[in-house]
Amino acid sequence: MKFKWWHGALIFALLLAVLSPLASSFPDGLERVAENKGFIETAREALFNLIPDYVFPGIANEAGATILAAIIGTLLIFGITYGLARLLKAKGEA
């Protein structure tokens, strides 16, 4: 298979996924506002948990668990959107 530009782009996204343990763990903008303005407690727990907080459950090494979650997510999103785009193109031609 010939190497195409988007193979490089997908590898770039996966490299970012590998860097995910370096992310800042500070609360994000909305969480910061919720803490400062006193409504953070109104947040409800999720109904179910699969890979909560981008950490794959049951792995002792947190960085490894984060990288695994990031790679799963990146590939899953790629597969879904690539498949969706193919489907839409086929539909448009019909």
Does the protein bind other proteins through residue 51 (CB under 8 A)? yes
- For residues 14 and 71, the answer to whether their CB atoms sit within 8 Å is yes
Rounded Cα–Cα distance for residues 13 and 32 (Å): 28
Amino acid at 59: I
Smallest gap from Cβ 60 to other proteins, in A, equals 20
Contacts to other proteins from residues 8-47, by CB under 8 A: 9-10, 12-14, 16-17, 19-20, 22-30, 32-34, 36-37, 39, 42-44, 46-47
Determine the Cα angle at 18 with ends 14 and 20, to 5°.
115
Query: Binding of other proteins at residue 59 (CB under 8 A)?
Result: no
The answer to whether residue 58 forms part of the interface with other proteins (CB under 8 A) is no
Q: At residue 7, what is the residue type?
A: H
Q: How far is the CB of 61 from other proteins (least distance, A)?
A: 17
